[in-house]
Amino acid sequence: LVDHGLELLSEEHCLELLQAEQVGRVGVSFGALPAIFPVNYKMHGGDILFRTGEGVKRRAAFEGNVVGFEVDRIDPVNREGWSVMVVGFASLMTAPEIDALGPVDISPWAAGERTNLVRIHPELISGRRITTRM
Amino acid sequence: LVDHGLELLSEEHCLELLQAEQVGRVGVSFGALPAIFPVNYKMHGGDILFRTGEGVKRRAAFEGNVVGFEVDRIDPVNREGWSVMVVGFASLMTAPEIDALGPVDISPWAAGERTNLVRIHPELISGRRITTRM
């Protein structure tokens, strides 16, 4: 089935877009229920890094589970934009891993202690450009 | 565990925000893999409506499955914003259901035939305001 109006992006282009943005959305399952939430992230060595708090559910969700991660830039007025989708394993980074990283400039937005650093290692990367041109 | 910097929003407030926005992200599972993609949506009678194409996986994913839906407005510069999260059953609307709706002004962005109308009936709605104030 041809999907007119959705141009597939190369993996290289997807990685460039991931490098350039700073806000993404993480998709996880809590039991059978899907959840999506925005995060402030940074790419590092091909992985997606973001900080999170001590939320029990959230923490459990990142213990080696497969998660989705999405970044997009959408212009509803001109009906144009793109989205990049990543699927990968998420893990909480250990203290030695964080030390080995060196300084990482990722602040969470929300105030309060968010010292956990989560890493998503991409296994699948796909992207599409949305256009109203046929 | 207290989550400083994340103010919970009332369900009423969440519904107002859902009514006001036009772009959201849908989270589904294809097999065991999570996927997130942006959609142009409209609220109608408390349900979330959006159009989709003939993608087989996507179509299958909306046949009565539980999906996640998220809308946010994030300001990375001032580190402020909010997000609203919905969990609900998704269904492809039948022709009689679409006729009964009357005219619905939801265009997909992408060109091409996107005549399927998907409805998400919210079962859970939650929202939070993100702030850097303590």
Looking at residue B132, what is its pLDDT? Answer: 61
- The secondary element (H helix, E strand) that includes residue A20 is helix A11-20
Task: For residue B65, give the nearest of B12, B18, B99, B28 by alpha carbon.
Answer: B28
Query: Contact B25/A85, CB-based, under 8 Å?
Result: no
Between chain A and chain B, the number of residue pairs with CB atoms below 8 A apart is 157
Interface of B with A in 58-97 (CB under 8 A): 66-70, 72, 74, 76, 79-81, 83, 85, 87
pLDDT at res. B109: 60
Q: What is the CA radius of gyration of chain B?
A: 16
What CA–CA distance (Å, rounded) separates B40 from A7?
Answer: 18
Local confidence pLDDT in tens for the 134 residues of chain B: 345 567 899 999 999 999 999 999 999 887 777 889 898 899 999 999 998 876 766 776 777 788 999 999 988 777 789 999 999 999 988 888 888 887 777 766 665 556 788 999 999 999 999 876 54
Nearest Cα residue in chain A from B55: A1
Contacts of A40 in chain B (CB under 8 A): 76, 79
A40 min Cα distance to partner chain B (Å): 8
Residue A69: closest CA among B115, B63, B126, B34: B34
Segment (H or E) for A59: helix A56-61
Query: Between A15 and A110, whose confidence is greater?
Result: A15
> Which of B4, B53, B85 has the CB atom closest to A3's CB atom?
B53
- What pLDDT digit, counting tens, does each position of A94-106 carry? 888 888 887 777 7
Considering CB atoms only, which of B5, B53, B110 is closest to A111? B5
- Inter-chain touch B109–A81, beta carbons under 8 Å: yes
Give residue A123's pLDDT: 95
Q: Is-contact A85 A126, C-beta < 8 A?
A: yes
What's the CA gap between A92 and A62, in Å, rounded? 6
- Residue A64 — pLDDT band, cuts 50, 70, 90? confident
pTM above 0.95, yes or no: no
Inform me whether the pLDDT recorded for A88 exceeds 90: yes
Residues 6+ apart with CB under 8 A from B63: B91, B92
Beta strand ranges found along chain B (DSSP E): 6-9, 23-30, 33-44, 47-52, 66-75, 80-92, 116-130
> What are the DSSP calls for B98-113, one per residue?
HHHH-------SSSS-
With CB atoms and an 8 Å threshold, state whether A38 touches B74.
yes
CA-based Rg of chain A, rounded to a whole angstrom? 16
Give A53's Cβ-side CA count (13 Å radius).
15
Contact status, residue A40 vs residue A109, Cβ threshold 8 Å: yes
Q: Report chain A residues whose CB lies below 8 A from the CB of B76.
A: 22-23, 40, 109
